[in-house]
Structure 1
Amino acid sequence: MTGTDGVEDLLRTYAPQVLGVLVRRYGTFDTCEDAVQEALIAAARQWPEEGVPDNPRGWLVTVAARRLVDQVRSEAARRRREDSLALATPASELLAPAADEEPDTDRDDSLSLLFLCCHPELSPPSRVALTLRAVGGLTTGQIAAAFLVPESTMAQRISRAKQTIREAGGSPALPPGEDRTARLAEVRHVLYLIFNEGYTASGGERLTAPELSTEAIRLARLLHRLLPGDTETAGLLALMLLTDARRTARTGPHGELVPLAEQDRGRWDAALVAEGVELISRTLPRGLIGPYQLQAAIAAVHDEAATAGDTDWPQILALYELLERTGPNPMVTLNRAVAVAMVEGPAAGLGVLDELARDKRLARHHRLLATRAHLLELLGERGPAAEAYREAARRTTSAPERRHLTERARRLG
């Protein structure tokens, strides 16, 4: 017998492999994905009670293939699809009792599936939702809950994404050359978005959504296993590990936000820190350095400091300056402003913020105001700092951040 948690871990591991087999065989992503979801639900119900089959992947492939046949046969309006599927695939193959015994099921199609879920025709939110559903094995309800939207809304988003892929003629084959490089960058970006939403939820009462950051790390590990020579994928995984190591220390006993400088570093996950530092230290000397590697290096400097006062801010500033050249972004500049303040003084940091305020992408963002408030506070400007904290609190959609910023303003009077 295997516990429910163990079964859930198994299912998430096998979900992309099983879907990859079906999509490669039958080429109909939407119906294959529905069939795999039904097979996963059946396994979640049966395996905890009856035990995990000797060949769990083969069991899932077989059940999903049968569900696919049932779906096609039960929809009269799709009779032509059934005919073409029947012509293309022998019934004996569809009903094979142990699909994993066949040579072609030994392949791991997870990378192809990740590329397909990040199809260029899809919007970023659709890529995220489809990746979590198809590759992550999460149910629509779980994804909706994590993103604080109704399940019906998320179901429509996923349905539209699958329809878009069908209309665009999405193929499980890996794209060639430059297209593959560009799509890989999109895959990494989707995993980065999933992790960020899990580490700092964009709205609602919770500061974090651990199920999302945990899933992002699992998928990043998968991508790194499939592409061990890709340094930016290694950098992304290291960044996630080094950042997630601090997650439990980011909230106090009542769910309140605890800033990095005030965190109890004894609560950081030492194993994740060690793994992340080792990975980024091994990766940086290997080739072209990209933004994820630089962000991971910055996170490593923070994590290796025994106390906030021990932080090597000159090194962090140098890394942010390099990051700004390789991957310019207003959020990068915002973080550089803090590093400038810690090295050259709060007034110098405020000068960087004044320049950044002219960028329309960030001019009214609550993080710009919160950073300004923090630097004004360091400068001893209590009144302006309090007002900036209050304005930042009004603009954020995160309840924990709003309470934290309001409290900071209250303390300053």
Structure 2
Amino acid sequence: MSHSQKSIRDHTRRRNQPNIDNQIIAKQLEDLVKPCVYNQLAYYRSLEMRSRILSLPLMLAVVLSLLWRQVPSVRELNRMLARENLLWAKVVKVSQQALSQRLLSFPASLFEKVLLDLLVQLNKRWQQRNTESSVSVQRARKYFERLWIVDASTLEALFRKLKSLETAPLGQLGGRICAVVDLETRFPVETWFKSEPYAHESNFVQKLLELIPAKTLLIIDRGFWNFRFFEELIRGKSDFITRLKGKAKYQFLRTLSRSSQHHDQLIRLGTGYQGNPILNLRLVEVKHGSTWYRYLTSVLDPEVLPPYIVADLYARRWRIEETFLTLKRLLGLSYLWTGSANGIQLQLWATWLFYVVLIDLADEVASELSIPFENISVEMVFRGLYHFAVAYDQGKATDPVAYLTAPENQDLAVVKAPRASRKKPPLDLSPFPQPEDLTNCSFA
């Protein structure tokens, strides 16, 4: 079904002027990212790229400024570069054509390597905070070394940020990405890009199998429904949780536990059609309100993952949807600068770079307030940086985390307002829930 442009939140009208600069925020970005940039200079030289003004350090500083200050166009970016320092990049005059062409042709792999280097540092920072995970995540981490979420998303229509796009047809889709995100940290593990916007999730299955090590729990949606994929995951000593397809054929084997609110049973999935494997799996059905949700997992032992833990973990798959929403709507990935595959990937890695820095800041805010990350609005943390910049210029603030968490700044809505829905009871951790415990079961 087609949508009008007004009905797509990602395509709301963009701003016409950049955000104001702030020394503290720029310094924190520089302290985090700049060392990772200079770590890649040897690789930069290995690509036989000659020394020039628009080098790796300058290009990354320029592109990050384009993102965090929400610069509306490359023309405006060029004006800024000629008049002010952009992060660690000093004032320099270059032609708009040279800057546009560099954004088209600069090797995207350089930005990817900077991102991977930065993630090592940010993962260490996350571990040092000793963030307390949810009960379901703590239970899963006893048996699995990694909890990963996988999903694919279509990059939206191309827009004319660069002069090179003036002849591109409006509404042309930019391609499709598949991302693996760590359920705990929310940081990306891996991202793949295909220029075909309608590429099915199955196109990424082989790359996933090459990536996933043993003792990984993968949380996937039904787009990755593939019997051979499931079989290979199990052979590799990893496991998965997904939703059962409506028309899936299976044979009942044994009931593990059952009540009016849940069913937990072992099943044999598949008929062997076209040589597809027949798999012994576990079907967990949980009633939430008046609706039954059906989950399929390769974890056969309820002592490892009790039924309500399975449901709660799958509900956390929504985190990757929130990630895509942040990348697209908040950080502007819906507005592609160029139609070239390399240019799109350049923007993709740059957006991921700023995303992980923003998530790290939001996690610092949550740690300072001693509340779960789920209670923090990443969007309002980002928008709160503007108010911090104003307060800094007025001499009223020097630290963004202290400013965002100050009691007098509660109106910035960095902490999400509690929902009006009824309070949920504690999560039932029993591997075999009994009927008398029905009031003690829920999933997030």
State the TM-score, normalizing by the size of structure 1.
0.31
Give the structure with the higher percent strand. Answer: 2
State the TM-score, normalizing by the size of structure 2.
0.30
